[in-house]
Structure 1
Amino acid sequence: MTAEPEPTPSGTIDRSASTPYYLQLKHILQDQVSSGLLRPGDQLEGEHDLGRRYGVSRPVVRQALAELHRENVLERVRGRGTFVAQPRTSQSLVQFVHGLYDDVAALGRTLRSEVRRFTVEPADHDLELRLGVELDAPVIALERLRFVDDEPWVYTISHVPFALAPDLLTHDLTRLSLYHLLQEVYGLQIERSDRVVEAQAADTELAKDLRIPPGGPVLKLTSVSFTADGTPLETFVAYHRADRSRFEVSLTRSEQGGPPHPVVRIV
């Protein structure tokens, strides 16, 4: 794959450079977003005005905008125009086990949770299978609407076997990480998680919580986490806003020549 040319350092098109005009314009706009000159939610000028501002044709503008749209730097809103996209969270799903708390912190953003339910309840058949507990065994249920920078991002329903963390309910999980508590207070180190991602339409209640239209797309993430000896210690079902998350997959071939091992992230 041929590397892209270095971006033009100024905010103008360098007509003596070998870099195509559309790439120069792409980098100019990208720099404006990175520097904060253009902020999430800001509307860009129309194609005609951008072409006049930078002295390029509309096809050049369209190609630059199309690339930035594919890279989720910009988003088009039908009937309104082109806007700077909201940043999306990054969450490792397969080889690197992180919670949303760590992923949001790595972006320099803030995460808080509105705890909707935090109680002990009997395990149903689904939890019996996922957590490897007996039917009706006590499990801790934690239901949270989670906000990134005060915007609703994901609705999560977590369960932990009561026997592993019997006084978990004494902790305030408004701003604390469940994974951190399990590790630091109870000595439960997550070594592996099995996760499944599905696309789903939000029902009326979920859409209201996430502030999206009813029937709008969400990404349903189901996870079971295990200790080093294979003991299930936590499971969750999370409904992520599809307009705030995306999945990136990197595949590497194993040393034995077997099938590739995926690394999947929400960004």
Structure 2
Amino acid sequence: MSSIDRSSPVPFYYQLKLILLEEISKRGMRPGDRLPGDHELCATYEVSRTVVRQTLAELEYEGVIERVKGRGTFIAEPKTSEGLVQSLTGLFEDVAARGSHLRSEVRKLAKVPADLQVATQLQIEPGTDVIAIERLRFVDGEPWVLTITHIPYELAPGLLDEDLTNQSLYALLEEKYQVKLVRGRRSVEAVVASAGLARGLGIKRGDPVLVLRSVSLGEESRPVEAFVAFHRGDRSRFEVELAREGTAAAAARPLMIVVD
């Protein structure tokens, strides 16, 4: 398809969307490449500005393009998708699944006493030893997320000697320390970046950040890990699978979204 089929029942905006996706692929366009402006698209494909705007709005929603006020429309950087429901995965697995590489800069790996908040999440007494892990995580060399994780020390004391630069924490817990992650609870909220967080993530102060909070439960519903992750809003999205209550899928799902 290279032009609008005016006899087709398919809406013009959807036809134009398919045309632009084909053009982007055919030309091998990469993130940062500029697309024609609205007026040029209207003239080229003989459609109204309303059609063009609806097309571009869908492509932007799907993460294909990025519209910058006063500058134009560009191919967007791909966003890392992280699953929230149906499978309890970590960012390492999610990034690997899309063919990218995740590297962690471990800023802290230490045994510390649990404060009240961490103790509440892990259902332990305040002051109990936990392993605190702070990692700035890079996807294909670009800073993506700052993650702060706490794990009861007694479950995997050897973590203090592990190199977490290029390996999955979840896989390490399960395969080496026999800490099985069965299900979990996660919540997402939007905040703006503080000055310190902005420096770490390579963004501007006040830019949007997605905060993912998670508690993972092991066998016998015991909390085995709690983390908070600060994701760049321009590089991350979260995918959710839903099922109606009472169906087999709903009964079997291992993870729920908790929205405060």
- TM-score with structure 1 length normalisation? 0.87
Could you tell me how far apart the structure 2 residues matched to 1:36 and 1:178 are? 39
Does the 8 Å contact 1:94/1:193 carry over to 2? no
- Which of 21, 28, 31 aligns to 2:12? It is 21
Partner amino acid, structure 1, of 2:135: R
Describe the superposition over 1:240-259 as per-residue Cα deviations: whole angstroms up to 9, x where unpaired: 111122334443222279x9
- 1:214 corresponds in structure 2 to 205
- 2:151 corresponds in structure 1 to 160
SS at 2:54 equivalent:
helix
- 1:30 corresponds in structure 2 to 21
Describe the superposition over 1:50-76 as per-residue Cα deviations: whole angstroms up to 9, x where unpaired: 223334343332222122223332221
- Which of 84, 88, 103 aligns to 1:93? It is 84
- 1:80 corresponds in structure 2 to 71
Q: How does 1:32-111 map to 2 (within 5 A)?
A: 32-34=23-25, 37-111=28-102
Does the 8 Å contact 1:94/1:194 carry over to 2? no
Does the 8 Å contact 1:93/1:193 carry over to 2? no
Does the 8 Å contact 1:119/1:141 carry over to 2? yes
CA displacement at 1:46 relative to structure 2: 0.7
- 2:217 corresponds in structure 1 to 226
Could you tell me how far apart the structure 2 residues matched to 1:254 and 1:212 are? 40
Structure 2 stretches lacking a partner, 5+ long: none
Report the CA distance shift for 1:126/1:55 in structure 2 as closer, same or farther (over 3 A): same
Could you tell me how far apart the structure 1 residues matched to 2:217 and 2:26 are? 41
- Which of 203, 211, 227 aligns to 1:236? It is 227
Partner amino acid, structure 2, of 1:77: V
Partner amino acid, structure 2, of 1:78: K
Could you tell me how far apart the structure 2 residues matched to 1:105 and 1:96 are? 15
Could you tell me how far apart the structure 2 residues matched to 1:150 and 1:27 are? 31
Q: Which moved more, 1:130-139 or 1:98-107?
A: 130-139
Could you tell me how far apart the structure 1 residues matched to 2:24 and 2:173 are? 38
CA displacement at 1:229 relative to structure 2: 0.9
Say yes or no: does 1:131 pair with 2:156: no
Q: How does 1:237-252 map to 2 (within 5 A)?
A: 237-252=228-243
- 2:196 corresponds in structure 1 to 205
Could you tell me how far apart the structure 1 residues matched to 2:27 and 2:164 are? 32
Q: Which moved more, 1:42-51 or 1:233-242?
A: 42-51
- 2:244 corresponds in structure 1 to 253
Could you tell me how far apart the structure 1 residues matched to 2:186 and 2:26 are? 35
CA displacement at 1:42 relative to structure 2: 1.6
Partner amino acid, structure 2, of 1:153: W
Select the structure that is richer in helix: 2
Between the two proteins, what is the percent identity of the paired residues?
A: 53
Does the 8 Å contact 2:85/2:241 carry over to 1? no
SS at 2:215 equivalent:
strand
Describe the superposition over 1:173-226 as per-residue Cα deviations: whole angstroms up to 9, x where unpaired: 011110010001011110011112121111101011111110211111111111
Does the 8 Å contact 2:85/2:240 carry over to 1? no
- TM-score with structure 2 length normalisation? 0.89
Q: Which moved more, 1:112-121 or 1:53-62?
A: 53-62
Could you tell me how far apart the structure 2 residues matched to 1:124 and 1:67 are? 45
Give the number of the structure with larger relative contact order, counting CA–CA contacts within 8 Å between residues 6 or more apart. 2
Partner amino acid, structure 2, of 1:97: L
Report the CA distance shift for 1:36/1:232 in structure 2 as closer, same or farther (over 3 A): farther
Cα RMSD after superposing both structures:
2.3
